[in-house]
Amino acid sequence: MKDMIRSNVPNIVSGIALLFCWLAIIFVIKGLFYASFGFILLAFVFDALDGYLARSLGLDNKFGRALDGYIDVVNYLVYPAIAFFVFFHLTNFISLLAIFIFFGCGIFRLARFQIRGIKTQENKMYYEGLPVFISPIIILFFLFIYQFSSKGTFTVIASGTLILIGIFMVLLFKFPKPKKVFPILLIATASSFVFFAKQFNFL
């Protein structure tokens, strides 16, 4: 039993990431955006940890990579698409087309990554194209301009941004892989609790 649990630790962590993303989807549909975003930040943290654990424990395998790829679709493409539509009200034809371009290019990007993986050149690791895990930053950017822009202005900026992000996902430019992940994860975890506190009036 212990060996079975140990061999599946990365997959269990992936499952926790998926659970947090599911909660994020539920909360954004219910109109509780800040709690929703708190959960998606936790999903990001656990999604990053599963790969680290797999490599550290010598458990990196095809199943784990495939599972991680499917969960990335939900975390970084499905959830943002729902948030763009439900919370940010990107509902006109151009906005929906922009969301589809973002979503479709993200799927293409993940499929390519499943085959080609992370590249190395001169001892430096890099992704081909913009990685999908950039999605939480896009949502934060949208949240900022959403509060200070008119609906029309926001719709134009958001739609244009989504189209550009989609294009950059499928381009083959080199995007450096972060060397120090844990400071990013600590910031994401702390930020998630800030969003929870804001949602439930602890701040």
What secondary structure does DSSP assign to 85-142, as a single string?
HHTS---SHHHHHHHHHHHHHHHHHHHHHHHH--EEETTEEEEES--GGGHHHHHHHH
Q: Which residues pair with 174 in a beta bridge?
A: 128
Integer CA distances (angstroms), 196 to 16, 71, 182, 185, 192, in order: 18, 23, 21, 17, 6
Give 10-residue mean pLDDT values along the chain (203 residues).
72 94 98 97 94 78 88 97 97 97 97 90 88 96 94 97 98 90 93 95 71
d(CA 37, CA 46) in angstroms, rounded, equals: 14
* Residue 182: HSE in the Cβ half-sphere, 13 Å Cα cutoff: 2
- What pLDDT, on the 0 to 100 scale, is given for residue 118? 87
Radius of gyration of the chain (CA): 17
Sorted by where each starts, the structural domains of the chain and their CATH numbers stand as 2-199 (1.20.120)
What pTM was estimated for this model as a whole? 0.92
- What pLDDT, on the 0 to 100 scale, is given for residue 81? 98
